[in-house]
């Protein structure tokens, strides 16, 4: 198989894959195809350069990033080794599987949030323990609808979640959202949003403390009340405010989150 054949097959299968291309320096155009758990395919002109680029491409892929990196012709990376050598610039292009959003609670807000999350490219899973609410018919836009409690869901698949992923807990029901928060906090998920008024949030914190979750550093990961302070009213507007907050948290921009204000959410 050619590099292109293997690349296009992996992209179509949504398997993680990175393509390293020399864009400046010796051997312009040479390629290294990198897939986790596979031997790299191709080469950049020097075995040590291949080794270093392979390692770095795996890290870029893990983060879902694409960009230019530079090395010496034999894979040198430290600044003093790069003085007076021709630089090899490589473009590392990553095709990572889509980030995930897990939404707990099969309510009206869930359908709106799932819709907006799909627009942003998330793989969306809706999870609720109530069989009559958690149906494909109500959430046709979701990639997956699971009838289960949060505990088993996180036990089974929590290790799939990473910094690019999001968990949104929309249940308002302590017997469901306490285990959902605990499950989410046990993962390295990048965003945890929990719906409810400031009063609901305070009560939830008390219940979490009773359940043994009271570390302030851990609880600081919770975005609750959830969303940016847009004055959103409808489920659709609220979905936009949640997704906008997810983007702002990822980019590190300062935007008014409801969590960081006081007073009623709706005026």
Strand order in the sheet with 41-42: 41-42, 31-34, 17-24, 88-95, 67-71
Among 2, 77, 85, 148, binds other proteins (CB under 8 A): 2
- Interface characters, 15-44, with other proteins (x: CB under 8 A): ------x-xx---xx-x----------x--
- Interface characters, 155-174, with other proteins (x: CB under 8 A): --------------------
Spell out a b/e string for 54-63, using b for 16 or more CB atoms within 10 Å of the CB, else e.
bebbbebbbe
CB of 16 to other proteins, least distance (A): 13
- Interface characters, 55-74, with other proteins (x: CB under 8 A): -----------xxx------
* Residue 214 sits in the site that holds other proteins (CB under 8 A): no
Q: State the first-to-last Cα distance of the chain, in angstroms, to the nearest integer.
A: 61
Backbone angles phi, psi at 234, to 5 degrees: -80, 165
Q: In this chain, which stretch among 85-93, 113-121, 166-174, 227-235 interacts with other proteins, using CB under 8 A?
A: 85-93
* Residue 11 sits in the site that holds other proteins (CB under 8 A): yes
**How far out from the chain centre does Cα 77 lie?**
29
* Residue 4 sits in the site that holds other proteins (CB under 8 A): yes
In sign, the C-alpha dihedral spanning 116, 117, 119, 123 is negative
Q: In this chain, which stretch among 2-10, 79-87, 158-166, 240-248 interacts with other proteins, using CB under 8 A?
A: 2-10
Q: In this chain, which stretch among 5-13, 165-173, 181-189, 247-255 interacts with other proteins, using CB under 8 A?
A: 5-13
* Residue 3 sits in the site that holds other proteins (CB under 8 A): yes
For residues 28 and 211, which CB has a smaller minimum distance to other proteins in the complex? 28
Among 8, 85, 148, 199, binds other proteins (CB under 8 A): 8
| CA contacts within 13 A on the Cβ side of 160 | 15
Q: Which residues lie across from 70 on neighbouring strands?
A: 89
CB of 174 to other proteins, least distance (A): 41
The token duo for 86 is 């021709």
* Residue 247 sits in the site that holds other proteins (CB under 8 A): no
Work out the angle at residue 47's Cα, subtended by the Cα atoms of residues 46 and 50, and round it to the nearest 5 degrees. Answer: 90
CA 222/CA 193 separation, integer angstroms = 6
For residues 25 and 183, which CB has a smaller minimum distance to other proteins in the complex? 25
Work out the angle at residue 123's Cα, subtended by the Cα atoms of residues 122 and 128, and round it to the nearest 5 degrees. Answer: 115
CA 241/CA 49 separation, integer angstroms = 45
For residues 27 and 200, which CB has a smaller minimum distance to other proteins in the complex? 27
Nearest alpha-carbon partner for 33 in 63, 13, 64, 10? 10
Among 15, 45, 74, 91, binds other proteins (CB under 8 A): 91
Report the interface residues with other proteins, using CB under 8 A: 2-4, 8, 11-12, 21, 23-24, 28-29, 31, 42, 66-68, 89, 91, 93-95
């Amino acid at each position: 198989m050619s590099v292109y054949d293997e690349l296009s097959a992996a992209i179509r299968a949504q398997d993680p894959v990175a393509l390293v291309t020399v864009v400046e320096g010796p051997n312009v155009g040479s390629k290294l195809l990198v897939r986790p758990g596979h031997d790299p395919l191709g080469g950049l002109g020097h075995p040590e350069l291949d080794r270093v680029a392979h390692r770095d491409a795996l890290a870029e892929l893990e983060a879902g990033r694409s960009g230019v990196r530079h090395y010496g012709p034999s894979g040198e990376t430290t600044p003093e080794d790069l003085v007076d050598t021709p630089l090899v610039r490589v473009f590392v292009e990553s095709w990572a599987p889509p980030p995930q959003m897990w939404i707990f609670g099969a309510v009206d807000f869930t359908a709106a949030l799932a819709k907006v999350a799909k627009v942003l490219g998330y793989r969306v899973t809706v999870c609720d323990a109530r069989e009559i609410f958690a149906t494909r018919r109500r959430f046709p836009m979701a990639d997956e609808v699971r009838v289960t409690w949060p505990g088993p869901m996180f036990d089974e698949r929590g290790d799939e979640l990473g910094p690019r992923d999001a968990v949104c807990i929309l249940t308002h029901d302590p017997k469901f959202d306490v285990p959902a928060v605990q499950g989410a906090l046990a993962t390295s998920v990048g965003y945890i949003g929990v719906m409810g008024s400031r009063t609901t949030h305070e009560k939830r914190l008390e219940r979490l403390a009773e359940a043994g979750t009271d570390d302030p550093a851990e609880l600081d990961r919770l975005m609750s009340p959830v969303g940016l302070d847009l004055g959103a009213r409808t489920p659709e507007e609220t979905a936009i405010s949640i997704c906008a907050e997810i983007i702002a948290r990822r980019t590190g921009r300062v935007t008014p989150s409801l969590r960081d204000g006081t007073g009623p959410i709706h005026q």
